[in-house]
Structure 1
């Protein structure tokens, strides 16, 4: 993510079927002046099409970070994660799992599929905004990300 105090500019792909969560994420990013373009895929199939630049996403940019819900229509977040992390062209893109599930099996399976982190979505708006801020702060200011392949 890119803010006024950062030098890392990349696109963010959010894979989320909840319009409310998308809206809250957009508002939080705007509030914290994150300038990175945010793209939305509403289900797992669309996410893979975006990442592989297929169909209407033929000209999609390569994201530098993916925020992935697990509970998605058509293809689950874990199926997306598995496909993403086994593709040599996509496997280095960091994936933040942001989901409502607190199930130990989901956490273990997500890490087993090489998710970079797992965060349970808070229900409260202010806490949700804090989570988005922490994602921004960590992935932008703390870690060094791999270069984005075009």
Structure 2
């Protein structure tokens, strides 16, 4: 498995991964319909952000999206194909984003986490600093996580 930049022509593929990974947590059709727009990537979004994919033998296993400029950035998305969750792909993508963020001079990453993903982010070293309203579901609050980044060693 290796991590590489996403290509704009992979937008539909990555959107599919995001939707399947979100549905993995048992959300109903109405919930999934409400968050479809927020989970949809297009070529322009891939070009604007730093989007990375984990790939093995030509198959995209998952992806992550990093945005922001020093001193602060955000891990906007991190999704893995549902049948591969728990196999370390999320960890590889997270570590890639952490390294990329440090190299860019970011000192802090925020993550608007799905409640089901909060334990993963805590295990990766993030802390919960509050909550934030969902961009898709009125009245729903999401864990707001923060990852402080040490400066890159020279």
Tell me the TM-score normalised to structure 1 length.
0.33
Which has the larger strand fraction? 2
TM-score by length of 2: 0.33
